[in-house]
Amino acid sequence: MNNDELLKQAEVVLAGNDRGDFTVPAEGYSHQWLWDSCFIAIGRRHGDTARAQKEILSLLRGQWANGMLPNIIFSDKDEHRRDRNLWRSWLSPFAPDDVATSGITQPPMLAEAVVRIGEKLSSPERRTWYQTVFPALLAYHQWLYAERDPHQEGLVLQIHPWETGLDNTPPWIRELHEHQLPSWIGLVGKTHLDKIINHFRRDIHYKVPGERLSTIDGLAFYSMQRRLRRKSYDIDKILSHSLLVIEDLSFNSIFIRANQQLRSIAKAIGKPLPPELDERMTKTEAALDQLWDAYSAQYYSRNFVTHKLIKEPSIAALLPLYAGSITKERAEQLVTMLRDENQFGSAYPVPSVPLNSAWFKPHGYWQGPTWLNTNWLIIDGLKRYGYTAEADTLTQTTLEMVAASGCYEYFSPTDATPAGAPNFSWTAALMIDLLQAVPGQATPSTASQLEKHSVSQH
Please name the amino acid found at residue 264: S
Q: Least distance (Å) from ligand GLC to the CB of residue 353?
A: 14
The CA-atom distances, in angstroms, between 314 and each of 234, 244, 318, 319 are 30, 18, 8, 10
Residue 33 Cβ vs ligand GLC, minimum distance, rounded to whole Å: 4
Under DSSP, the state recorded for 18 is B
Nearer to ligand GLC, 242 or 427 (CB): 427
Quote the distance between the C-alpha of residue 76 and its chain's center: 25
Rounded to the nearest whole angstrom, what is the least distance from the CB of residue 39 to ligand GLC in the complex?
9
Give the shortest CB-376-to-ligand GLC separation in angstroms. 13
Give me the least distance between CB of 167 and ligand GLC, in Å please: 4
Residues in the chain: 458
* CB-nearer residue toward ligand GLC: 163 or 390: 163
Identify which of residues 33 and 233 has a Cβ nearer to ligand GLC in the complex. 33
62, 101 contact by CB (below 8 A): yes
Nearest 5°: the CA angle 152, 244, 73 is: 85
The smaller minimum CB distance to ligand GLC, of residues 207 and 237, is found at: 207
| Nearest-approach distance from CB 221 to ligand GLC, in angstroms | 10
Residue 25 CB, nearest distance to ligand GLC (Å)?
A: 3
- We find the least distance from the C-beta atom of residue 367 to ligand GLC, in angstroms, to be 12
CB 19 within 8 A of CB 28: no
Closer Cβ to ligand GLC, 120 or 361, answer by number:
361
Question: Distance (Å, rounded) from C-alpha 105 to C-alpha 270?
Answer: 28
Nearer Cβ to ligand GLC, position 3 or 63?
A: 63
- On whether the CB atoms of residues 395 and 448 are closer than 8 A, the answer is no
In a 3-state reduction of DSSP, which class is residue 204? coil
Nearest-CA neighbor of 325 among 245, 384, 388, 241? 384
State the residues that interact with ligand GLC by CB under 6 A.
Answer: 25, 33, 35-36, 165, 167
Nearest to 283 by CA among 163, 145, 147, 157: 145
CB nearer ligand GLC, residue 254 or residue 281: 254
3-class DSSP state of 2: strand
Q: Which residues are catalytic?
A: 167, 409
DSSP for 369-396?
Answer: -B-HHHHHHHHHHHHHTT-HHHHHHHHH
Query: Which among 278, 413, 303, 404 has a CA at the least distance from the CA of 355?
Result: 413
In the complex with ligand GLC, the residue whose CB is nearer, 25 or 43, is 25
Q: Which residues pair with 2 in a beta bridge?
A: 441
* Cα torsion angle, 311, 312, 316, 317, sign: positive
d(CA 132, CA 95) in angstroms, rounded, equals 21
- Residue 328 CB coordination number (10 Å): 8
Residue 152 CA to residue 140 CA, distance in Å, equals 17
